[in-house]
Chains A and B, each alone.
Chain A
Amino acid sequence: MTEVSAITTNIQRWQSAAALLAMVLTWQIAASIAADRLFPGPVQVVSVLLHEAVRGELLYHLGISLARVAASLGAAILIGAVLGYAAGRSRRADVWMRPWIVLLLNMPALITVILIYIWLGLADTALVLAVALNKIPNVVVTIREGAGRLDKDFAEMAELYRFGRAAMLRYVVLPQLAPFFLVSLRNGLALTWKIVLLAELLGRSNGVGFQLQVYFQNFDVTHILAYAISFGVVMLAIEYGLLVPLERHLLTWRR
C-alpha cells in the first residue's frame, strides 16, 4: 500500500467512526426531546441489552434463532445449489423447474410460513422448511447463472487429463461457482433471519421473534430495540468475522 492510499484509508476509517457516533448522538438527542417511555435513548437500550445478556434470556433466544437461521440457510443453499446446477447445465431441467421457481420467488414469505405451519404443525422442522422454501428459488437463480457460465475450456482440459468426478467438482466446478455461493450466502443471511423472526412470531414459543411478540404486547420498546440491536451486532459479526475472511480465502488467487 502506498503512503497516500494508507492516509486515505485512515481518513475514511475515522469518518466511518464519526458517522456512527453522529447517528447515536442524533438518536440520544431525539430521545431526550421526546422524553417518552415509547422512545428510549441509546444509553437506556444498551443498559437493558447488557442486563438481558448477563441474565441469560437474550443469549438463549438469540442462540435459538441463529440455529434456525443456520439450518434454514444451510438447507436452502444445499438444495438450491443442486437444483440450480441442474438448471444451469440442462435446458430441460431449467424448463421443468421454471414455473416452480417463478411461483416461489413471488410468494410472500407470510403465506409460505402460514401454509407450512398448517400442513406440518407448529414445529421447528416446519419453520426450517418454510424459511428454506423462501430462500431456495433465489439460490437456484444465482447458481443457475454460475453453472450456465462454466468454462468449457477448463472442462475439456479436465476431461483430457482424466480428473475424475471428485477432482472435477472440487478443482474445476466449485471454484468457478464460489462467487455465486458467496452471493447466495450473503443475500441469504439478510433474507433468512428476517423470515425466521416472522415465523417465530407466528408459531414458536422461543427465539427472538417470539420475544419480540411478547414485548410488542407490553409496548416495551426498550426491549424491542435491545433485541434488534443484538441481532444487528451478531449479523455484523458474521459478515466481518466469517463472510469477509471466507471471501478473502476463496479469492486469494485473484491478487
Chain B
Amino acid sequence: MATLMLRIRIEEKTFPGDDGQRRTIFCPLSLDIADGQVCVLTGPSGVGKSTLLSIVSGVDDEFSGSVSGRALPVGMLFQTPRLLPWLTALRNIELAVPGHAPDAARWLAAVGLKGHEQDYPQRLSGGMARRVALARALAVEPALLLLDEPFASLDQATAQAMRRLLQDSFAKRRPTTLLVTHDLASASSLGDRVIVLEGSPARIVRDVEISRRDEAGSARFRLGNSTQ
C-alpha cells in the first residue's frame, strides 16, 4: 500500500566513552517505517532513542550504514528546545519557514502561545520553550516528523492539548513520524506502531502495530514483523 518507505540500516554507531574506548550504541539496527506511519519509540533512558532520531534526521552522519527514503522537509523537536536565545519566539519559527511569516504566527498561536511572539526564549518556561520548538517543527509542514519526548515537562492539560494538536496534524498531513515517549498512554492514542528499544548495544525487543480500524476503542494488537 505504502509507496515510500523510510529504510534505516545502521551497521554500527559508536560514541567515544569516558575511558577512551568507544561505546557501541547500535550494532546493528534496522527498521522500516511505512510512509505516513506514526511510530512510537520507547525504551529506558540512555538506550539510544535520541541518537536514532538524529541519525534518521540526517544531522548525525557519523555512523556506518544508511538511511534512505527520507521524505522532505524534516521537522524535528529535539530533546532540548534548541531555540536561538538572541531571537524572539516568533523569529525562531520564521527562520525555519522563510517567506511564510504568517504561518509562524499561526503555529505559535496553535501551541497556545499567542501574545508571546516577542518574548526571548530565556523569558519562557521549559514547557513554553518546548511548545515553541514544536510549533517550529510543525510550521515547516514536515513530510518526516521527529519528536523527542514532546510531552515531557508539560502539565496535564497542556500535554493533552499538544496531543490533540499532533493528532490533528497526523490526520491532515500524514507525515511519517517517529515519536519518542515514555508515556504509553499517549503512545497508544497517537501511534500506529510501538517499538521498544533495550540493551547495550540497543536492540528492538518489541515491535507492535496498533490497528485503528477498531473504532470501539479496544485497540487490537498484533505482532509486527520484528526485524531483529
Binding site for B on A (CB under 8 A): 153-154, 156-157, 159-163, 167, 171-172, 175, 252-254
From 83 to 136 in chain B, residues with beta carbon under 8 angstroms from any chain A beta carbon are 84-87, 95-96, 98, 120, 122, 136
For B59, B85, B86, B95, the residue with the greatest tally of chain A CB atoms inside 10 Å of its CB is B86
Stretch in B15-23, B28-36, B72-80, B215-223 with 4+ CB within 8 Å of A: B72-80
Are B140 and A154 neighbours in the complex by a CB distance under 8 Å?
Answer: no
How many Å lie between the Cα of A172 and that of B80 in the bound state?
Answer: 17
Are B76 and A171 neighbours in the complex by a CB distance under 8 Å?
Answer: no
Q: Is B82 an interface residue (CB 8 A)?
A: yes
Chain B residue contacts of A161, Cβ below 8 A: 95-96, 136, 140
Give the 3 A-B residue pairs with the shortest CB-CB distance, closest first. Answer: A161-B96, A156-B59, A157-B82
Binding site for A on B (CB under 8 A): 54, 57-60, 73-74, 76, 78, 80, 82, 84-87, 95-96, 98, 120, 122, 136, 140
Specify which of B58, B95, B120, B122 is in contact with A167 (CB 8 Å cutoff): B95
Chief secondary structure at chain B's binding surface: loop
Are A160 and B59 neighbours in the complex by a CB distance under 8 Å?
Answer: yes
Chain A residue contacts of B98, Cβ below 8 A: 167
Are B58 and A254 neighbours in the complex by a CB distance under 8 Å?
Answer: no
Are A175 and B82 neighbours in the complex by a CB distance under 8 Å?
Answer: no
Min CB–CB distance A49 → chain B (angstroms): 42
Chain A residue contacts of B78, Cβ below 8 A: 153, 156-157
Give the residue name and chain of the B residue nearest to A155 (CB).
B59
Are B122 and A253 neighbours in the complex by a CB distance under 8 Å?
Answer: yes
Q: Given contacts A161-B96, A162-B73, A254-B122, are A172 and B57 in contact (CB under 8 A)?
A: no
